[in-house]
Structure 1
Amino acid sequence: MEGNQTKLLESKQVLEKLAHGINPIDGSDITTDQLLNNPQVIRHLFVLLNFLDSELEKQKKIKNRKRTKKVVLTLTPEQLEKVLLPKGPIGINEFAQAVNLVIDENISKKLSGAIINRKLKKIGVLSEEKINDSKTRTVVNDNSIAYGIESMESYYNGEPYQRVVFNDIGKEFLLKNIINLMGLD
């Protein structure tokens, strides 16, 4: 991309000189060339210049966006206090949605249940089981209950399955530890 940007800048400089009646090779005025003095040709050169400006601006924004990549999760203690969790056992996506309502999206990426589950598996609080050759599902393990995580029967497309839910102890554990969990690699 860096090479493309350099080529675009060089091309823009040549087109600007031509559009303003200047020979890009030696800097002299172009006075005798009918083609380069034709208003229609000059107009098209300015159209190209506008296009190049917009392309260069897009590349600049993309480069800046990559440079200022958002942190996975940034939460202040004040924001954590504002998280309102639903009553009763909740799934991890419900927890993530409640947290997302208080985060500043200019600073932090949104939280997802899949990311939280991945972190909980990493510390051994949840496990994973294979459903078939290509799919897995998150399940509770022997450590889960101590963290307020249990499973309850639910239905998906009419089929029963064990849904992982967080009781009041689990919700409190997540709220107190979400920042540390998200910092795990």
Structure 2
Amino acid sequence: MREDIEKIYKAKRILQRIAGGVNPLNGEKLEEDSFLHDPRMIRCLHYVCGLLDDQAANRLRSGSNKPKAFNISPQEKDLIELPDRNIGVNEFARCVNRVISAESKKLTGALLNRQLKKMGILSEEIMEKGKTRTIINEKSGIMV
């Protein structure tokens, strides 16, 4: 089963490279007049990547009881692939969820934010009407 999931992610990486305008075989840019630069093709490739993610998640979850806690092994951490752009906590959580075992609870942006607040890396600011929003602080290491 793990080999099947790895094949799914390999196929996804290939499609992502093509969608990004790169030949997956040699790493060179695709020719400018290639049909693969058409936005409709790029959207289609990203859609298929999403389907591959869903398929892998279904294979990981099939036949198991609902996990109770989030767990990630050092080997799984090494498998995490992050995009080469700024991402939010929800997309980060999706990247992590692609590699964790079926025995682990899925990571969510809310769970991640809650833990970062406990660690003092994020804070909450009280807005008008009593609403709160999550903000960075000096411990976050992010300078704005």
Return the structure number with greater strand share.
Answer: 1
Could you tell me the TM-score, scaled by structure 2's length?
A: 0.49
Larger Rg: 1
